[in-house]
Amino acid sequence: MKHIERLLLPPAIVALASLGAARAAPTTTHRETTMESVQHLQDFQIVEFRRYTTSSGERANFVKYFDTWFPEAFEQLGAMVFGQFTERGDPDRFTWLRGFKDINARPIVNAAFYYGPLWKEHRTKVNTILPDSDNVMLLHPLQPPSGIPVLPAVDPVVEEDGAHGVVVAQIFAVRKGSEEGFAEQAQTAFAHYRIAGVHPAGVLVSLDVPNNFPQLPIRADGPFLVWLGVVKDDATLDSRLAPLLDAAEHALTTSGLLRGAPERVVMDPTPRSRLRWLSDASGEASP
């Protein structure tokens, strides 16, 4: 009967109805297919934790340049920009996380990018407002499951106002020779962070290998252990997570296994940062 009614409708109405159905389809399947779209982008075992200092008053401009030109360029070369952020408490600090499949991929990808046409076109403008880009930790996951997940790119249609949430990093400077013991204690402390409104996003440790792309310096003052998490909002951070971070930092400092006080870095995702609060990623939404 429905087929007969459809035949009786004027062609123009049938066409409009079909167009409307086609436009509506993506909204009904978006949440179901979000994480499926990035299954081929997982398992990046090498991570650069890159903290830049921009020229005074230029950070907002650098964010626009970075978001516009660079994330997909690295993805096309086989690397990944996990996320990019502005640090709270320092108006000139920009931080981003870059991943490679393995250590041998690092010089290959970096050479292709930094000697390639995109960087050649934009490097003068970008470098002019980037006086310091040498604060870089070379890291890898503490354990295979603790690597940084690749979340779907920000959807310019569904997420018109850009990335949301707060990203927190705890950086622990570990005494050399105490890495294993400290990691065990840290994992116990981090288990308390698994609360509503907080998604763990990785536990990383220093990778002690020679710099195989010397044009980009890396820090040699490790070892470090870094916890990353994504928080739903400031209210969750202030009232629920911050007390747990305080307690963990105090307990881990008194362990005698650190070289100094832990550093807590609170960051806001830039509009196109993959690493963000994504509550519909996979049901309960854990990055």
Q: What is the pLDDT of residues 121-147, one digit of tens each?
A: 999 999 999 999 999 999 999 998 899
CB-based contact 257:185 (threshold 8 Å)? yes
Residue 285 has pLDDT above 60, yes or no: no
Q: How far apart are CA 54 and CA 84, in angstroms?
A: 14
**Residue 1's pLDDT band (boundaries 50, 70, 90)?**
very low
Buried b (16+ CB within 10 A) or exposed e, 47-63: bbbbbbbbeeebbeebb
Q: What is the end-to-end Cα distance of the chain in Å, rounded?
A: 47
Across the chain, what does the average pLDDT equal? Answer: 90
Structure tokens at 134: 């040498």
Residue 280 has pLDDT above 90, yes or no: no
Each residue's pLDDT tens digit, 52-62:
999 999 999 99
Structure tokens at 69: 């030109």
3-state secondary structure of 207: coil
Q: How far apart are CA 177 and CA 3, in angstroms?
A: 75
CB-based contact 239:249 (threshold 8 Å)? no
3-state secondary structure of 208: coil
Structure confidence at residue 2 (pLDDT)? 45
Structure tokens at 265: 């870095």
**Residue 283's pLDDT band (boundaries 50, 70, 90)?**
very low
3-state secondary structure of 142: coil
This prediction's pTM: 0.86
Domains of the chain: 40-269 (3.30.70.100)
Report the range of poorest mean pLDDT among 27-36, 172-181, 266-275: 27-36
State the CB neighbour count (10 A cutoff) for residue 81.
Answer: 24
CB-based contact 59:92 (threshold 8 Å)? yes
**Short-list 216, 224, 278, CA closest to 31:** 278
Each residue's pLDDT tens digit, 4-34:
444 445 554 444 444 444 444 444 444 445 7
The proportion of the chain whose per-residue pLDDT surpasses 90, expressed as a percent, equals 82
CB-based contact 165:193 (threshold 8 Å)? no
Angle at CA 240, nearest 5°, toward 235 and 241? 100
CB-based contact 271:196 (threshold 8 Å)? no
Residue 274 has pLDDT above 70, yes or no: yes
